[in-house]
Amino acid sequence: MPTLAPSTNAKVLVTGANGFLAMWIVCRLLKEGYSVRGVVRSAEKGRHAQEYFASYGDRFEIDAVPDMIEEGAFDEAVKGVQAVMHTATPISPSGTDPDAYIKPAVSGAIGILKSALKHGSSIQRIIYTSSTGAVLRPTSDPLVFNENDWNDAALEEVKEKGDSAGWVQKYQASKVLAERAAWELYHTHKHELPWDLVVINPPLILGPAIQEVSTLDSLNLSVKIFYQNVVSEGLRSADTLKEVKVWTDVRDVAEAHVKALHTEAAAGERIIVSAENTSWQEFIDVANTVLPSLSVSISHKITTGIPGLRRNTTFTYDTAKAERILGIRYRSVEQTVGDMLADFGNRGW
């Protein structure tokens, strides 16, 4: 398949374009010279993005798709674009029904591929944002997961427990089922497609926000979890502090998506994009180290936790494919934490 080099004549469709990751993807695409059609649920939800990228003129446009589950929801949106980046997915819907997570994720993934199949004759590549939640499985052993692994354990728990399954398992199950459905459709129709498929699997995504954020409660979930465990006042148990998170800076995940557009070897690949493992105590240690060097202050003193607390032994990911195919180099924990603290301080938090 031909790759899609940066050009104002190359238009990329980005779903969920007002989201945390998608805004950084759009930013990177525009800076590299692409044009972008951003899909949001309503014109109002696209207002901030339209204003934020106003300097790019008609190279950035908004298209409203109110319900991505609806049959043919993306039929018009895919027309005339050369690539698609599907980032939109539910994270924390209301209610306990697993289908509240699963149906939108699967329907959205299948829906946009079906629209591309029927109306996307100009499309050369589709990049689907999955998650390492579709890769890992519960383990007390220090395992290394790679792109051949699937989180069938989440499917089993949701099947067994239904509404009483944890929200994390419901979310992970939705990512497994949506990604598998996307691969199945792709391989079924591969011989007739003008486009190929790339799947990016990131872990917890952290970094500064450029999407519309008015309050702490309106932060995206991953950064809100960071704020609650590292910045906000309150007691943290030793068990929480020892807990390790595998994470990646949002700007590095965005870079991986854009590099996948113009890298021929990415075609048909599932790619884990993951920086490093860091415990909440280690995040706290880094925050206290970098905060004095910042030009802004945050609204209250960061806890010290339990300095010297040893992290839990945990799993990690084999990131050799991302490094080999995309040449990804990751930001350090110091840079990401520092940029997040600066962002919080600038917002008065």
pLDDT tens digits, residue range 246-280? 999 999 999 999 999 999 999 999 999 999 999 99
Question: Do 1 and 26 touch, CB atoms closer than 8 A?
Answer: no
Distance between CA atoms of residues 12 and 60, nearest Å:
10
Return the pLDDT at 303.
Answer: 86
Return the pLDDT at 2.
Answer: 60
Return the pLDDT at 299.
Answer: 86
Angle between helices 167-189 and 99-119 (to 10 degrees): 20
CA distance to 10, 35, 40, 227, 344, per residue, from 57 (Å): 15, 10, 18, 35, 29
Return the pLDDT at 105.
Answer: 92
Return the pLDDT at 232.
Answer: 84
Q: Residue range 136-140: average pLDDT? A: 87
Q: Is residue 239 part of a domain?
A: no
Per-residue pLDDT tens over the stretch 211-254:
999 898 889 989 999 999 999 877 689 999 999 999 999 999 99
Return the pLDDT at 1.
Answer: 54
Q: Is residue 84 part of a domain?
A: yes
Q: Residue range 124-128: average pLDDT? A: 97
CA-atom Rg of the chain in angstroms: 20
Distance between CA atoms of residues 226 and 245, nearest Å:
10
CB atoms within 10 A of CB 69: 13
pLDDT tier for residue 5 given thresholds of 50, 70 and 90: confident
Contacts of 179 (CB under 8 A, 6+ apart): 109, 128, 130, 134, 199, 270
Q: Which of 266, 244, 246, 245 is nearest to 255 (CA)?
A: 266
Judge whether residue 90 has pLDDT over 70. no
Q: Is residue 177 part of a domain?
A: yes
Beta bridge partners of 101: none
| Residue of 233 and 206 predicted with greater confidence | 206
Tell me what percent of the residues of the chain surpass a pLDDT of 70: 97
Work out how many domains the chain is built from and give that number: 1
CA 258, 273, 88, 27 dihedral sign is: negative
Question: Do 8 and 36 touch, CB atoms closer than 8 A?
Answer: no
Question: Do 291 and 341 touch, CB atoms closer than 8 A?
Answer: yes
Q: Is residue 229 part of a domain?
A: no
Distance between CA atoms of residues 197 and 180, nearest Å:
12
Q: Is residue 1 part of a domain?
A: no
0.85 exceeded by the pTM? yes
8-state DSSP, 325:
I
The tokens of 245 are what? 């998170």
Q: Is residue 238 part of a domain?
A: no
Q: Which CATH number belongs to the domain containing residue 174 in this structure?
A: 3.40.50.720
Return the pLDDT at 68.
Answer: 83
Q: What is the DSSP string of 7-65?
A: -TT-EEEEETTTSHHHHHHHHHHHHHT-EEEEEESSTTTTHHHHHHTGGGGGGEEEEE-
Residue range(s) defining the domain that contains residue 164: 11-212+247-275+317-330
Return the pLDDT at 92.
Answer: 58
Q: Is residue 335 part of a domain?
A: no
Q: Residue range 85-92: average pLDDT? A: 79
Q: Is residue 49 part of a domain?
A: yes
HSE toward the beta carbon, residue 285, CA cutoff 13 A: 14
Return the pLDDT at 69.
Answer: 83
